[in-house]
Amino acid sequence: MHVKEALIIRKSTRAFLDKSVSREAIVKILEAARHAPSGVNSQPWQVAVVSGIEKQKLQQQLENAFRSGIQKEMDYQYYPTKWKEPYKSRRKATGLQLYSTLGIGREDKQKQLDQWAANYRAFDAPVALFFFMDAGMQTGSFMDYGMFLQSLMLAAVEEGLAVCPQAALAEYPAIVKQFLGYPADSILICGMALGYEDTKAKVNSYRTPREAVDTFTRFFQ
């Protein structure tokens, strides 16, 4: 598979088959991703691979926190506090596309809640990955992490696996760190669902649009 093919095929998958992912397959994609670039070769990534009974226990804690209304508090500010255009419209369109695909209307608050709660189960994928970084690392390391995550996702696609990178899995960092034994002052970047796509699931049937190159690019010569 060519890199361009993997870039186009990759999508945020939200329904997975009840099929385990071997440790060998996970190690294989991590072996590829570890070659991602990082400033001064700092390689700030630390990865927790959670599956089986341990995943069931952790995701139950996360979903309970969400359903109990416990305040979300990520280790960093992911989204802007005030949205402006064109980002505001893109955000709204993405949510509408998800709910319309699933036939969930504006008035279906319980269905919306249940769909969002699935985030904390990593959409019932067999594997949830959690990505940590040492306290004290700065903005450049977040850029490095982005390159690592994309490398990991492309390697997963090549292996026939599906992924969904998730900020939601980092919304209750204290729970995750305590459960997995990571330092309280470490930075939980995000999580990621990993498994085999359920191609028959309606939620996996749509793709979010991308802007044309000429809308975000300027050439100077």
Helix (H/G/I), strand (E/B), else coil: 19: coil
Is the pLDDT at 1 greater than 90? The verdict is no
Question: Full-prediction pTM beyond 0.85?
Answer: yes
Provide mean pLDDT across the span 186-204.
Answer: 97
What does the block give as tokens for 31? Answer: 């072996």
The model's pLDDT over 135-183, given as tens digits with 9 standing for 90+, comes to 999 999 999 999 999 999 999 999 999 999 999 999 999 999 999 999 9
Is the pLDDT at 106 greater than 90? The verdict is no
**Residue 188 confidence class, pLDDT cut points 50, 70, 90:** very high
CATH 3.40.50.620 corresponds to the domain 3-123+134-209: no
Q: Are 40 and 144 in contact (CB under 8 A)?
A: no
147: Cβ contacts below 8 Å, ≥ 6 apart? 36, 37, 38
